[in-house]
Structure 1
Amino acid sequence: MSLVAIGVNHKTASVDLREKVAFSPDVIHEAMKSLAQRTPTGEAVILSTCNRTELYCNRIQADAVLAWLESFHGIDAEILRQHTYTLQDVDAINHLMRVSAGLDSLVLGEPQILGQVKQSFTKAKEAGTVGATLDRLFQNTFSVAKRIRTETEIGSAAVSVAFAAVSMAKHIFADMHKTNVLLIGAGETIELVARHLKDSGVEEMVVANRTLERAKGMCEEFNAKAVTLESIPDHLPHADIVISSTASPLPILGKGLVERALKQRRHQPMLLVDIAVPRDIESEVGELDDAFLYTVDDLHSIIEQNIESRKQAAEEAEIIANQEAVQFIEWLRSLDNVDSIRAYRTQSLAVKDELVEKALNKIAQGGDNEQVLLELANKLTNRLIHAPTQALTKASRQGDMSTLETLKSVLGLDKH
Structure 2
Amino acid sequence: MTLLALGINHRTASVAVREQVAFSPAQLEHALEQLRALPHISEAAVLSTCNRTELYCVTDAAGEQTVLEWLGRFHNLSIDELTRCAYHYLDNDAARHLMRVAVGLDSMVLGEPQILGQLKDAYQQARQMQGLGGELERLFQHTFAVAKQVRTETGIGKNPVSVAYAAVSMASRIFDDFSRSRALLIGAGETIELVARHLHEAGVRELTVANRTRERAELVSSRLGGRAITLPEIPAALEEADIVISSTASPLPILGKGMVESALKKRRHRPVFMVDIAVPRDIEPEVGELADVFLYTVDDLEEVIEENRRHRQVAADQAESLIEHGVGSWQHERRIRSGGELIREYRHHGEALRDESRDQALERLARGEDPAKVIERLAHQLANRLMHQPTQAIRDAASQEHHEFLEAAPRLLLPVKPAFEKPAPKANRQKDNTPA
Deviations 1:287-306 (A, max 9, x none): 44432221111001111222
Higher RCO (C-alpha under 8 Å, 6+ residues apart):
1
2:70 to 68, 71, 74: 68
Matches within 5 A, 1:8-407: 8-39=8-39, 42-60=42-60, 61-407=63-409
Change (3 A) 1:213 1:76: closer
RMSD between superposed Cα atoms in Å: 2.5
3-state SS of paired residue (1:172):
coil
Any idea what the Cα deviations from partners look like across 1:238-263, whole Å, max 9, x if unmatched? 32212122334444434454445445
Cα displacement (A) at 1:182: 1.8
Structure 2 CA distance for partners of 1:239 and 1:129, relative to 1, 3 Å? same
Paired amino acid for 2:294? F
Where in structure 1 are there 5+ consecutive unaligned residues?
Answer: none
User: Which amino acid letter does the alignment assign opposite residue 417 of structure 2?
Assistant: K
Q: What is the Cα deviation at residue 408 of structure 1?
A: 0.8
Shift of 1:17: 3.0
Q: Is the 1:102–1:111 contact (alpha carbons within 8 Å) kept by the matching residues of 2?
A: yes
C-alpha spacing 1:17/1:268, structure 2 compared with 1 (3 Å): closer
8 A Cα contact 1:41 1:131, kept in partner: no
Q: TM-score, normalised by structure 2?
A: 0.87
User: Residues 259-304 of structure 1, C-alpha deviation per residue, up to 9 Å, x if partnerless?
Assistant: 4544544444322212222333333433444322211110011112
State the TM-score, normalized to the length of structure 1. Answer: 0.90
Letter in 1 for 2:90: Q
Query: Conserved in 1, the CA contact under 8 Å of 2:42 and 2:59?
Result: no
Contact 1:46 1:56 in 2 (8 A): yes
CA contact (8 A) 1:39 1:57 kept: no
* Secondary structure at 1:238 match in 2: coil
**One-letter amino acid of the counterpart of residue 182, structure 1:** L
Inter-partner Cα distance in structure 2 for 1:81 and 1:184: 42
Give the C-alpha shift of residue 406 in structure 1.
0.5
Overall identity of the aligned pairs, in %: 52
Q: Which runs of 5+ in 2 are unaligned?
A: 419-436
Measure, in 1, the Cα distance between the counterparts of 2:169 and 2:90.
Answer: 39
- Once residues 251 and 293 of structure 2 are traced to their aligned partners in structure 1, the CA distance between those partners, rounded to angstroms, is 23
Q: Which deviates more, 228-237 or 292-301?
A: 228-237
Larger radius of gyration: 2
Deviates more, 1:65-74 or 1:345-354: 65-74
CA distances 1:186-235 after superposition (whole Å, capped 9, x unpaired)? 33322221121112221011223344444334322222223344444433
> Which residue identity does 2:398 align to in structure 1?
S
Q: Aligned equivalents of 1:13 and 1:248: distance in 2?
A: 30
In the aligned structure 1, how far is the partner of 2:209 from the partner of 2:18?
Answer: 35
| Structure 1 residue 33: Cα displacement | 0.7
Cα distance change on mapping 1:16 and 1:237 into 2, 3 Å: closer
Secondary structure at 1:130 match in 2 = coil
Quick one: distance in 2 between partners of 1:148 and 1:262? Answer: 46
Q: Given the superposition, is the C-alpha separation of residues 366 and 209 from structure 1 closer, same or farther in structure 2, using an over 3 Å criterion?
A: closer
Aligned length: 416
In 2, are the aligned partners of 1:8 and 1:85 still within 8 Å (CA)?
Answer: yes
- CA offset at residue 376 of structure 1? 1.7
